[in-house]
Amino acid sequence: MGLVQVATNTVTSAVASVTLTGIDSDDVYMLVFNNFVPASDGQSPQMRVTESGTPNTTANYDVAQKRLFSNTGFLDSSATNQTKYLGFAGTGNATGENGNCIMYLYNFNNASEYSFCSWEGTASSTSGSSAGRQGGGVFTSASACDGVQLFAGSGNIASGTFTLYRVV
């Protein structure tokens, strides 16, 4: 297995969102973000699919995940008919706090199938606690999706590196 970089964006000053496009084959794609830091404390990265480069904001996102906490145990969470995939791992914006995620994207280019994804994400805090999430989601509309839009749950993205790869 190999990776071919499709798009990347490194954020060094606050932006409302990051859009990565270039999904143009039926291959599996991998989205990676490193050192995600929100401008507002305690925010999770959120995601939407893009169609022709435009984020789809319809209520067609379903998600299920296990949330793991180093200081309190774990819990299961799920949601249906959302306008975005829910956060992967919330993080703060103090020095040393950040979030990271690896996500696999399936069926994105296929207009006859639902697009879906699976992810593993982590977040760290200055208090020494950490959290992780593992789960997946489905975009319940058969359409060709050419990319993703990432944004903070509330406010801007202060910094991070976001990269889309094609898995070959």
Q: Catalogue all structural domains in the chain, each as residue range(s) with its CATH number.
A: 3-167 (2.60.120)
| Average pLDDT value for the chain | 91
Q: How confident is the model at residue 74 (pLDDT cuts 50, 70, 90)?
A: confident
Which pLDDT belongs to residue 9?
A: 98
| pTM of the model as a whole | 0.92
Give the N- to C-terminal CA distance of the chain in Å, as an integer: 6
Q: Please say whether the dihedral angle defined by the alpha carbons of residues 145, 4, 36 and 77, taken in this order, is positive or negative.
A: positive
Residue showing tokens 């696999």: 104
Highest mean pLDDT range out of 23-27, 73-77, 99-103?
Answer: 23-27
Provide the phi-psi class of 112: left if phi over 0, else alpha when psi is between -120 and 50, else beta.
Answer: alpha
Structure tokens at 145: 């999706």
Q: Say if residue 128's pLDDT is above 70.
A: no
